Amino acid sequence: MEASVPELSWVPAAGGGGRGGGGRMLRATAGSVEQRDEEQEDEAEEELRDGGVPFYVNRGGLPVDEETWERMWRHVARIHPNGEALGKETRGATDLPKIPIPSVPTFQPTTTIPQRLEAIQKYIRELQYNHTGTQFFEIKKSRPLTALMDIAKEMTREALPIKCLEAVILGIYLTNNMPGVERFPLSFQSHFSGNHFHHIVLGVHCGGRFGALGTSRREDLMFKPLEFRTLMDLVQEFEGAYRGYWHTLRKVRIGQYVSHDAHSVEQIEWKHSILDLDKLTKDELRKELERHTRDMRLKIGKPAPPSPTKDRRNSMGSPLRGQGSPVRRISRIERRPSGDKKVLEPKSAAEINGYQIRV
C-alpha cells in the first residue's frame, strides 16, 4: 500500500500479446474511474486498475526483454521519490547482495493443514511484494486452470516478487495436493478519496473453518489463519482491516471452489457472487454469504471436465511463449441480487484527503 496522488493510469491493450506489448493511456479522474469500473467489470482486468496508479504488466515472458526492462526503470524513476538517482545507483552497482531464493515448502504426512497453510503463506511472503510497478507474470483470468498452473510453476522457478493476483494462482498451485482444502477467489473493491481500489486473496475452507492466503502491501490484508467459522466472519475481518486504512469496502466478489486437478481445462469461476455492500444490510449480507457457501458445497463431488491427454497438453505449449492455451467459455452463472440501497454515514477524513492509500 502506498500514498500518492494519481494523474494517469496505463492499462495494457487487450490485444498487446507478445514481446513489448503496447498500451493505452486513460485519464484517472474520480468520475472516469467509477465509469470504467462498471464498463470493465466483466473483462477480468480490475487487477490492472488500482486507484488510477500507473501499473504495467510484462507481456513478453521471461527473461524480461530489453523494452520492458527499460520501461520498468523509467516507471520507477517517475513514481519513486528518488527514482532517477535510485535507478542509476542500483543499475551501476557491482556489489549488490545476493538475494536468497526461497524453497518451495514440502510436508511430512503428519504435518497438519493449518501448518501447511502457514508454510505456504511464509513462502509467498518470502518472495516479497512487487513494488516495481511492473507485474512480471501475465495472468489472464480466462485461461484454463492447466495454463495458469504452468505460470505458477514458472513463479517457483524464477522466485521473483509478485502481486496479489499472482499470489492467488501460486496459492492454488501449492494447495492442489491437499484434497481436504477447498480454495476459492475472494476479491474486494474499496473506495478512498474519490478512487476505487481492487485486491484479491485466495479463500480457503477446511474442517468447517475459513481462512485466506495471499499478499498485500498491508499485513492484515492477506493471510488469515484457518479459524473463521463462517464466510461472513472472514469478510468482516477484511472489512475491519480496510476501515483501519480509511477505505470503505464497497463490493465483494466470490468465486466457486477451484478444481484440484492441475491439468483441468476448466476455467476458474472468479465471480459467482457479486455483493454490493452499499445495498445490503448486515443480515442480508449474511444470508447472501450463507447462500454462496451452500452453492460452493454443491459443487463438491460434481465431475470435472476431462483433463487433456498428454499429447494435447504438450501441444498447448507454454502460456508465456506460445500461442496461448485454448479457452473454453463457461456459461455465466446468474449473479446474486443485492438488496435495496441503504444510506451510509459520511466519514470525516479531512486530514488525509488528497492522498491515495493503496491496498
Active site residues: 164, 199, 216
Q: Give the SS3 label for residue 212.
A: strand
HEC string of 231-297 equals: HHHHHHHHHHHHHCCCCEEEEEEECCCCCCCCCCCCECCCCCEEEECCCCCHHHHHHHHHHHHHHHH
Cis check for the bond before 54: say yes or no (omega within 30 of 0). Answer: no
Q: How far out from the chain centre does Cα 204 lie? A: 14
Q: Give the SS3 label for residue 347.
A: coil
Buried b or exposed e, range 207-223, using 16+ CB within 10 angstroms: eebbbbbbbbbbeebbb
226 vs 206: CA distance, rounded Å: 8
Burial class (CB within 10 angstroms; exposed 0-12, middle 13-18, buried 19+) of 242: buried
Return all residues near 318 (Cβ < 8 A) that are at least 6 apart: 61, 150
49 vs 78: CA distance, rounded Å: 18
Which residue type, as a one-letter code, is found at position 127?
L
93 torsion bin: left (phi>0), alpha (psi -120 to 50), beta (else) = beta
